Structure 1
Amino acid sequence: MQNFISYKNSKIAYLDVGKGTTIVLLHGFLENATMWNGVVKELSKTNRVICIDLLGHGKSDCIGYVHTMNDMAEAVKEILNFLRLRKFYIIGHSMGGYVSLAFAEKYLKNIKGLCLLNSSAQADSEERKELRTRVGEMAKKNYSNLVRMSISNLFLTETKAIFTSEIAQIKKEALQTSVQGYIAATKGMQLRENKEAVLQTIPKRLIIAGENDPVTHFNSILKEAKRTKTSLIKLSGGHMSHIEDKDELIASLKKFIKG
Structure 2
Amino acid sequence: MQKSIIFKNANISFSDIGKGTAVVLIHGFLENSTMWKNIAPELSKRNRIITVDLLGHGKTDCLGYVHSMELFAEAIEAVLKHLKIRKFILVGHSLGGYISLALAKNNPNKIKGLCLLNSTSNEDSEERKNLRLRANKMVQNNFDNIVKISVSNLFHQENLSKFKEEIEAIKKEALQTPIQGYIAANEGMRIRSNTNHILSKNNFKKLIIIGEKDPVLDYESSLEEAKRTNTEIVVFNGGHMSYVENRDDLISVLKEFIKGC
Shorter-chain-normalised TM-score: which range? Answer: over 0.9
Contact 1:114 1:202 (C-alpha < 8 Å) held by counterparts: no
Match of 1:124 in 2: 124
Deviations 1:150-204 (A, max 9, x none): 0010112210101011001000110111000000001000010000001123321
Match of 1:241 in 2: 242
RMSD: 0.6
Aligned residues, how many?
259
Deviations 1:22-74 (A, max 9, x none): 10000000000000111101001111000000110011000100000000000
Match of 1:254 in 2: 255
Match of 1:66 in 2: 66
Q: Which amino acid is the alignment partner of residue 211 of structure 2?
A: G
Q: Which amino acid is the alignment partner of residue 235 of structure 1?
A: F
Pairing of 1:156-171 with structure 2 (within 5 A) = 156-171=156-171
Could you tell me how far 1:109 is from its partner in structure 2?
1.0
Paired with 2:47 and 2:104, the residues of 1 have a C-alpha distance of 21
Paired with 1:198 and 1:22, the residues of 2 have a C-alpha distance of 21
Q: Which amino acid is the alignment partner of residue 41 of structure 1?
A: P
Paired with 1:63 and 1:44, the residues of 2 have a C-alpha distance of 30
SS at 1:142 equivalent: helix
Match of 1:148 in 2: 148
Contact 1:3 1:13 (C-alpha < 8 Å) held by counterparts: yes
Match of 1:102 in 2: 102
Could you tell me how far 1:217 is from its partner in structure 2?
1.7
Q: Which amino acid is the alignment partner of residue 165 of structure 2?
A: S
Query: 2:212 aligned with 1:211, yes or no?
Result: yes
Could you tell me how far 1:103 is from its partner in structure 2?
0.6
Pairing of 1:1-259 with structure 2 (within 5 A) = 1-203=1-203, 204-259=205-260
Paired with 2:156 and 2:234, the residues of 1 have a C-alpha distance of 19
Paired with 2:19 and 2:9, the residues of 1 have a C-alpha distance of 30
Paired with 1:54 and 1:104, the residues of 2 have a C-alpha distance of 17
Could you tell me how far 1:9 is from its partner in structure 2?
0.6
Paired with 1:136 and 1:99, the residues of 2 have a C-alpha distance of 20
List gaps (5 residues or longer) in structure 1: none
With normalisation by structure 1, the TM-score equals 0.99
Paired with 1:117 and 1:202, the residues of 2 have a C-alpha distance of 18
Deviations 1:107-151 (A, max 9, x none): 111100000000000000000000000000011011011111100
Paired with 2:198 and 2:227, the residues of 1 have a C-alpha distance of 15
Paired with 2:109 and 2:177, the residues of 1 have a C-alpha distance of 32
List gaps (5 residues or longer) in structure 2: none
Q: Which amino acid is the alignment partner of residue 99 of structure 2?
A: V
Paired with 2:175 and 2:115, the residues of 1 have a C-alpha distance of 27
Paired with 2:245 and 2:201, the residues of 1 have a C-alpha distance of 30
Paired with 1:4 and 1:151, the residues of 2 have a C-alpha distance of 27
Structure 1 segments of 4 or more deviating over 6 A? none
Contact 1:113 1:202 (C-alpha < 8 Å) held by counterparts: no
Could you tell me how far 1:218 is from its partner in structure 2?
1.3
